[in-house]
Structure 1
Amino acid sequence: MDQMANEVACANEQPADKAQVRPKRRSKPAPDPEKAERIVRRLNDLLSASDYFGRYASLTPEEKIAKLFLASAEDKAKSDINCTASDEVRRQVPVLFQAIASLMEEKSGLMIQSSAEINVEGFGRGLIYSGRIILVMKSLRAGFPFPFTSLEKTVAYAVACLDEGIAFLDKYKEQTAVHGLLSLEG
Structure 2
Amino acid sequence: MERMADEFAGVNGQTPEQAPVSPKRRTKPLPDPEKSEQLIRRLNDLLSASDYFGRYASLTPEEKISKLFLASADDKAKSDINCTVSDEVRSQVPVLFQAIAGVLEEKSGLMIQSSAEINVEGFGRGLLYSGRIILVIKSLRAGFPFPFTSLAKTVAYGVACVEEGLTFLDKYKDLAEVQSLLNLEG
Equivalent residue letter for 1:104: L
Q: Distance in 1 between matches of 2:15 and 2:117?
A: 53
- For residues 10-159 of structure 1, the aligned pairs below 5 Å read 10=11, 23-159=23-159
The separation in 2 between residues aligned to 1:169 and 1:44, in whole angstroms, is 26
Q: Give the distance between the partners of 2:69 and 2:150, measured in 1 at CA.
A: 10
CA distance 1:176–1:77, shift in 2 (3 Å): closer
Which residue does 1:160 correspond to in 2? Answer: 160
State the 1:10 CA deviation.
4.6
Runs of 4+ in 1 over 4 A off after TM superposition: 13-16
Cα distance, 1:72 vs. partner? 1.0
Give 2:32's aligned amino acid: D
In structure 2, C-alpha distance between the alignment counterparts of 1:14 and 1:68, rounded to whole Å = 57
Q: What CA distance in whole angstroms lies between the structure 2 residues aligned with 1:147 and 1:14?
A: 48
Aligned pair in 2 of structure 1 residues 49, 121: CA closer, same or farther (>3 Å)? same
Looking at structure 2, the residues matched to 14 and 139 of structure 1 have their Cα atoms a distance apart, in angstroms, of: 49
Q: 1:14 to 1:55 in 2, by over 3 A?
A: farther
> Aligned with 1:148: secondary structure?
coil
Q: Does 1:181 align with 2:153?
A: no
1:163-185 CA distances to partner (integer Å, 9 max, x unpaired)? 000110110012345x34249xx
- RMSD between superposed Cα atoms in Å: 2.6
Q: Which SS does the other structure have where 1:175 is aligned? A: helix
Query: Are 2:125 and 2:140, in contact at CA under 8 Å, matched by a contact in 1?
Result: yes
Distance across 1 between alignment mates of 2:90 and 2:133: 25
C-alpha distance in 2, partners of 1:94/1:153? Answer: 17
Unaligned runs of 5+ in 1: none
Partners in 2 of 1:145 and 1:81 — Cα distance?
15
Deviations 1:10-65 (A, max 9, x none): 58x8889x99x864221000011111111111110000000000010111110000
Q: Which amino acid aligns with 1:117?
A: E
2 CA distance for matches of 1:138 and 1:127? 6
What is the rounded CA distance, in whole Å, between the counterparts of 1:59 and 1:119 in structure 2? 31
Amino acid at match of 2:137: M
TM-score by length of 2: 0.85
CA deviation after TM superposition for structure 1 residue 66, in Å: 0.3
> Structure 1 174/71 Cα, relative in aligned 2: closer, same or farther at 3 Å?
same
Q: Across the two proteins, how many residue pairs are aligned to each other?
A: 178
The aligned amino acid for 1:181 is S
The alpha-carbon distance between structure 1 residues 155 and 14, as it changes in their structure 2 partners (threshold 3 A), is farther
Partners in 2 of 1:82 and 1:110 — Cα distance?
Answer: 41
| 1:109 CA drift (Å) | 1.4
**Alignment check: 8 A CA contact 2:169 2:176 kept:** no
